[in-house]
Amino acid sequence: MRAVVCLKQVVDPLTPATDLTLDAEAKTVRQAVAGPPVINGYDEQALEAALRLKEERGQLEIIALSLGENFNTDVMKRALAVGADQLVLVRDPSLDTWDGWYLATVLAAAIAKIGAVDLVLCGRQASDWDNAFVPLMLAHALEMPCLTLARKLTVTEQRIEIERVLPDGSQMMWSELPAVVTVTSELGPLRMPTARARLATARIQPRQMTLDELGIAAAPAPQIDIVDLAIPSVGRECHFIEAVDGAAAGRKLADLLWEDGIIRAEGGA
C-alpha cells in the first residue's frame, strides 16, 4: 500500500511581523531577516497520521511530496528522518504562487507520475495563505473522494474510516480507496526525529521532478487574482491619568472610557 503526503515549505508562522517584507509586485510576503523556513504545521500532522498508519499496518510506503521554487533541503529532509520512505520535490519558479488550482494540478500530475497511490494525505490548510481549498481541488483532479478534518484514521485494504472534527463533537466518515484525506491539528504533533535518523538521512538525496517531466508546459493564467496585500500595522496610544488621589483618577478613567464607548451604563442605555 502506498500513501503520498503533501508537504508545503512555508515562512515560519512565528516570525514577527517586523521581520517580514511585502513584495508588492509579486503580491507575496517575504522574510526580511534570514531565518529557516518550516514545513507547514498541518502538513506535519498529515505526515504523523501516515506514520501511525504505517505502525498499525506494517506495510505502507510513505512518499513525501512538495512543490516550490527554492527548498531548504535540511528542512524538507525532516520527513525522511521521522520515517517517510521517499522525498519528492517538484521545483519551478512558477510554483511560488497563491493559485491553488495550479498547485493542485501540479500535485495531481506528480501523484500520477509516482503511480499506484492508495491514499493522499494533506494538512487541512497552509499557514501562509490559509485557503484550505487545494486538497479539495486535488481530489477533484485525481477523481478521488475527499474526507476532511480527520483527527483519527483507520485503513483496511480497500477502505478508510476517519473521525472528523466538528465544532460541537465528531463525525465518523468512510470511503473506498483510493481517497484524499485532510488532517487537522487535533491528531497531534509530528514526532521528533532521532539524532541517528538525522545523520542517516543527511546522505539521502530527494527525488527531483520538473514540470516538463510531468507534462506541464507553463503556468496558466491565475484563477485567483489578489487585489491588494498588506501587513497589518499595530499601534498603541498611552494616556496618563493625573489626579489628587486614586478615587479621582478612577472617575477620570471612567469618563474617558465612556467617551470612547468602551463602557456603557447597565442595560446598554
> pLDDT tens for residues 67-79?
999 999 999 999 9
The CA distance from 124 to 113, in Å, is 24
Do 24 and 82 meet the contact criterion of CB atoms below 8 Å apart? Answer: no
Would you state the pLDDT for residue 49?
97
The better pLDDT of the pair 143, 250 is held by 143
Q: Tens digit of pLDDT for each residue in 197-247?
A: 999 998 899 999 999 999 998 777 777 778 887 777 777 778 788 888 989
| Nearest to 66, CA basis, from 30, 99, 97, 110 | 110
The confidence score (pLDDT) of residue 26 equals 72
267 pLDDT tier (thresholds 50, 70, 90): low
Q: Are residue 191 and residue 143 in the same domain, yes or no?
A: yes
**For 199, left (φ over 0), alpha (ψ -120 to 50), or beta?**
alpha
161 domain residue, yes or no: yes
Q: How far apart are CA 224 and CA 101, in angstroms?
A: 9
Please check whether residues 17 and 127 belong to one and the same domain.
yes
Do 116 and 18 reside in the same domain of the chain? yes
Range of the domain at 186: 2-209
132: left (phi over 0), alpha (psi -120 to 50) or beta: left
Q: How far apart are CA 155 and CA 144, in angstroms?
A: 16
Domain boundary among 209, 227, 248: 209
Q: What is the CATH number of the domain that holds 120?
A: 3.40.50.620
Model pTM score: 0.83
Please tell me the distance from the alpha carbon of residue 157 to that of residue 118, in angstroms, as a whole number.
Answer: 9
Question: Do residues 211 and 94 lie in contact, with contact meaning Cβ atoms separated by under 8 Å?
Answer: yes
Average pLDDT, the chain: 90
The answer to whether residue 217 is domain-embedded is: no
| Whether 111 and 8 share a structural domain | yes
> Which residue would you say has higher pLDDT here, 83 or 263?
83
The predicted-structure confidence for 25-34, as pLDDT tens digits, reads as follows: 777 777 766 7
The pLDDT tens digits of the residues spanning 115-138 come to 999 999 999 999 888 889 999 999
- SS3 assignment, position 147: strand
The residue type found at 197 is: A
Identify whether residues 35 and 153 lie together within a single domain.
Answer: yes
Whether 167 shows a pLDDT value over 50: the answer reads: yes
- What's the CA gap between 82 and 259, in Å, rounded? 57
How many domains would you assign to the chain? 2
101 shares a domain with 59: yes
Q: Tell me, what's the pLDDT at 101?
A: 92
Task: Tell me: do 205 and 241 sit in the same domain.
Answer: no
Domain co-membership, 116 together with 163: yes
pLDDT band at 269 (very low <50, low <70, confident <90, very high): very low
User: How many C-beta neighbours within 10 Å does residue 259 have?
Assistant: 9
47 SS3 class: helix
Q: Is residue 132 included in any domain, yes or no?
A: yes
d(CA 37, CA 66): 14
Q: Are the C-beta atoms of 175 and 145 separated by less than 8 Å?
A: yes
Is the same domain home to 14 and 116?
yes
> Is 19 part of any domain?
yes
